[in-house]
């Protein structure tokens, strides 16, 4: 049987791990589930930040202001 996940080792301070364990117990989850959830949220946050930076660069390049973006979005939605 093959694993679909990889095992990684991380270092955390004992007080931090104690808090993680307490929360995991409260939520009836494992440590692994807790750390996976944190990483999913971190990755999603970074992807959103990257998208926002890209959008800001594109707006600047074409000389568009934020109000102009909202107008374009509103026009697009009205067509749907």
Average pLDDT estimate for 20-24: 97
The percent of residues in the chain predicted with pLDDT above 90, rounded, is 65
Q: How far apart are CA 23 and CA 58, in angstroms?
A: 42
- Is pLDDT above 80 for 15? yes
Assign 12 a pLDDT band (cuts: 50, 70, 90). Answer: very high
What's this model's pTM, rounded to 2 decimal places? 0.72
- For residue range 27-52, what is the model confidence (pLDDT) as tens digits? 999 999 999 999 999 999 999 999 99
Each domain of the chain, given as residue ranges in start order, spans 14-79
Q: How far apart are CA 43 and CA 50, in angstroms?
A: 10
């Amino acid at each position: 049987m093959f694993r679909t996940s990889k095992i990684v080792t991380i270092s955390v301070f004992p007080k931090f791990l104690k808090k993680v364990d307490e929360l995991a117990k409260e939520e009836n989850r494992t440590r692994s589930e807790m750390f996976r959830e944190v990483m999913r949220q971190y990755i999603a946050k970074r992807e959103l930040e990257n998208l926002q930076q890209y959008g800001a660069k594109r707006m600047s390049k074409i000389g568009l202001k934020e109000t102009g973006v909202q107008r374009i979005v509103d026009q697009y939605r009205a067509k749907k």
